[in-house]
Chain A
Amino acid sequence: MKQSFDQKQYNQTIKTYQPKPNYFINCLKAFVVGGLICMLGEGITTFYVEVFNFSEKDAGNPTVTTLILIAALLTGFGVYDKLGQFAGAGSAVPVTGFANSVSSAALEHKSEGLVLGVATNLFKLAGSVIVFGVVSAYLLGIIRYSWKIWF
């Protein structure tokens, strides 16, 4: 075999055969879809403020809950994974993406029972988000607390 498909260079050679992701279009799709999800969130907040007389701050929690409910339903109806393929980070980063990762795991492992299936695997994908979320919040909290004491 000639040099180009040599085992050592194989990973380099095959790059020309692999279709490249279009980063610009992907970013644009993520921006638009992510933005639309956030806009929906804004709309829901306004709804809670105007209709149920929540304060702007208090409307945050019901807004997140509503978005999670919508995302979980869309996951169940088999829509969210298609949105995910289209939008990438645009639908993965917002709270709806987190809801999708939890509800998709629940659906997937339903056949293994409620305890060892659903409950055990619920945070299979989202677990790392929670771990790093808690750890980074803890570390930043310590930094902020120390900053206040010393300065």
Chain B
Amino acid sequence: MSKMGSRTWYFEKPVYIQATGTSVGPLEGEGPLKDTFDQIHAELHCGENNWELAERRLMTESVNACLKKAGVDKTDVNLFLAGDLLNQNVTANYVAKQLETPFLCMFGACSTSMETLANGAVFVNSGYADHVLVAASSHNATAERQFRYPTEYGGQKPKTATFTVTGSGAALLSKQKSSVRVESATIGKVMDYGTNDPFDMGSAMAPAAYDTIKTHLQDMGRTAQDYDLIVTGDLSAVGTPILRDMLAEDGYDITEKHSDCGLMIYHSDQPVFSGGSGCACSAVVTYGKIMEDLKQGRLTKVLVVATGALMSPTMIQQKETIPAIAHGVVLLREEGS
């Protein structure tokens, strides 16, 4: 591994994604990416008694699907890196308990998917682990309870609000050659541009995505044209144009190459306000649709920038602003595997 520029990690000894697994809720299962998910639940409870158990089930399923596809037993996993949005990261902790693998818990709000993937690649690259399993999850109802109001509360949300994706995505990393390689990763800085509206995460996170993408392109000496796709996690319909215009002002035109997972996962007529959000948003889109496109050659070089609003309801009530972070990971299609 070597450091490129100020904060980009380039993995010299190639790290590959052996397999990925996804499990999602009902609304995601009706969306345009429905054929790319391993498991779809018709009901938000996912057959469990409460929302927290439902989210845990989603993560368990995505992990199991991933291990099954890779043909790797859980006892061969040297490290499990995972996180979610709940207090004390309970989903990840309890799934790790079931898995009985060495575990490091991570929190990066909705950037957790790429935070775990980047760190997992570091452990494989450096030889401290042969198989690293990474996962992230979110559930619409647990997030509502954690950050907003009870699920059935009849409050009106503004159009700038986002809709937390119900689902979980997992990936298994190792040095064994496969069709998708993790090439590099750019670690984000916490950016706070002074927004304080918890119903407008896109505006809060756009500066973090801007900073990470700009730094990544500078560190690697690349332009947006070097990528087939630059995809952000959950900037939604509000944050997406802000990010594009911020980068355009600095002379980086990404518009043609850019998509947002929060806009890809739902149809525009689904009741999701300005788009999807949550840890699962970037996780299920990357580990579902984008992985499939890479494997089948529709994409060859993708920069995934997972964006996270490091928001706490207590801090918002104490009139603090919303800090945000974004981590970028480059995925490459590896020919001849």
Contact = CB atoms under 8 A, between A and B. Distances in A.
Interface of A: 1-2, 4-5, 7-8, 10-11, 14, 17-19, 21, 26, 75-76, 78, 80-85, 87-89, 91-92, 97, 100-101, 103-105, 107-109, 111, 124-125
A81 B151 contact: yes
6 contacts: A5-B249, A18-B160, A83-B154, A85-B157, A108-B151, A125-B150
Interface residues of B, number: 34
A88 B153 CA distance: 11
Given A84-B156, A111-B49, A10 B200 contact: no
A18 B250 CA distance: 22
Contacts of B126: none
A81 to B, nearest CB: 5
A18 B238 contact: yes
Interface in B243-259: 245-246, 249-250
Contacts of B336: none
B71 interface: no
Interface of B: 49-52, 145, 149-160, 193-195, 200, 203, 206-207, 210, 237-238, 241-242, 245-246, 249-250, 274
Given A1-B250, A18-B160, A21-B159, A108 B150 contact: yes
Nearest to A124: B150
A101 B200 contact: no
A93 to B, nearest CB: 11
Contacts of A100: 152-154
Nearest to A21: B158
Contacts of A1: 246, 249-250
Given A2-B249, A7-B194, A10-B207, A19 B152 contact: no
A11 B194 contact: yes
A88 B157 CA distance: 9
